[in-house]
Amino acid sequence: MIKKLSASVLFCLISLNLCAQNWGGGVDYDRLHFGFTFQYISSELKVYKKANWRDPFYDNSGQMIKDSPYSISSPKSPGFALGFVSDLKLTENLNLRLTPLLVFTDRMLDYRYGNEEDNQLKKTSATMVDIPLGFKIKSDRINNYRAYFIAGGKYSIDIISKKKTNNELINDPLEKLVLNKRNFFSYEAGIGLDLYFEFFKLSPEIKLSNSFGSILHRDKEENAFSQPLDKVFLRNFQFSLYFE
């Protein structure tokens, strides 16, 4: 629904922009300019399992807590982000962009067992501060349009309360969480289109990002859901609207 609405809004804006060349608020003439952004995010985890990931899980007393899983996967989870834009013009076709974001998203792992009643979906909620820094390589402007490619990296830190992700406070072994690292780096790349209006510039953009390393955080004691996992990487698909 969100994607269809975004596509409809974008189509209407492009249709309205089929006219004489617009000023675009003069942002292309400024050495440094600012703006804001709204983003739709689809997150998933790329899961690497241990060689013995299908082994049952036993507690310290030897009691079996969870049977052997036959599948561990990560369904896509929607989220959104709000942020600001700082854009430094380096040349006519190259800009350096810093776009700090407040990101609200979930990450999910789907565990399947022989008995369907044992199936479990583990969700980790995250409230992130992302600090992406990237180079924006732009084509020459044609009327009210300019295509671009953007690539760079970002630093992410989870600001959610540590008490909400503390497995030591959870007594039920089947309610234990699969924890993620609180901070990590990612690389990202995307494409977009600058649309010039009379008093501002609008830039729809799609971008893919992937964490540099595993974001899996291990407690001192493994639980039934973290034990089968070797590495977990975070992948995001982002659709953004930038207003500058």
| Cα four-point dihedral sign 59, 62, 67, 72 | positive
- Contact (Cβ atoms closer than 8 angstroms) between residue 225 and residue 219: no
Q: What is the structure's pLDDT at 2? A: 47
Q: What are φ and ψ of residue 26, in 5° steps? A: 75, 15
- Answer yes or no: is pLDDT of 5 > 50: no
Question: What residues contact 190, with CB distance under 8 A and at least 6 apart?
Answer: 149, 150, 151, 205, 206, 207, 208, 238
What 3-state class would DSSP assign to 159? coil
Per-residue pLDDT tens over the stretch 13-60: 455 445 557 877 788 889 999 999 999 999 999 999 999 999 999 888
Per the listing, tokens 């899980």 go with: 57
Q: What is the structure's pLDDT at 139? A: 95
- Contact (Cβ atoms closer than 8 angstroms) between residue 183 and residue 156: yes
Per-residue pLDDT tens over the stretch 128-172: 999 999 999 999 999 999 999 999 999 999 998 677 788 888 888
Q: What is the structure's pLDDT at 237? A: 97
- Answer yes or no: is pLDDT of 93 > 90: yes
Q: What is the structure's pLDDT at 20? A: 59
Q: What is the structure's pLDDT at 8? A: 52
DSSP string over 131-156: EEEEEEEEPPPBTTEEEEEEEEEEEE
- Alpha-carbon gap, residue 27 to 113, rounded angstroms: 56
- Alpha-carbon gap, residue 142 to 149, rounded angstroms: 16
Q: How many CB atoms lie within 10 A of CB 137?
A: 14
Position 62 confidence tier, pLDDT thresholds 50, 70, 90: confident
Structure token pair of residue 170: 């959870």
Go through the chain and tell me how many residues it has.
Answer: 244
> So where are the chain's domains?
2-125+134-243
- Answer yes or no: is pLDDT of 4 > 80: no
SS3 content of the chain, % helix, strand, coil (to 5): 15, 55, 30
Q: How many CB atoms lie within 10 A of CB 100?
A: 16
| Cα four-point dihedral sign 65, 67, 73, 77 | negative
- Answer yes or no: is pLDDT of 84 > 70: yes
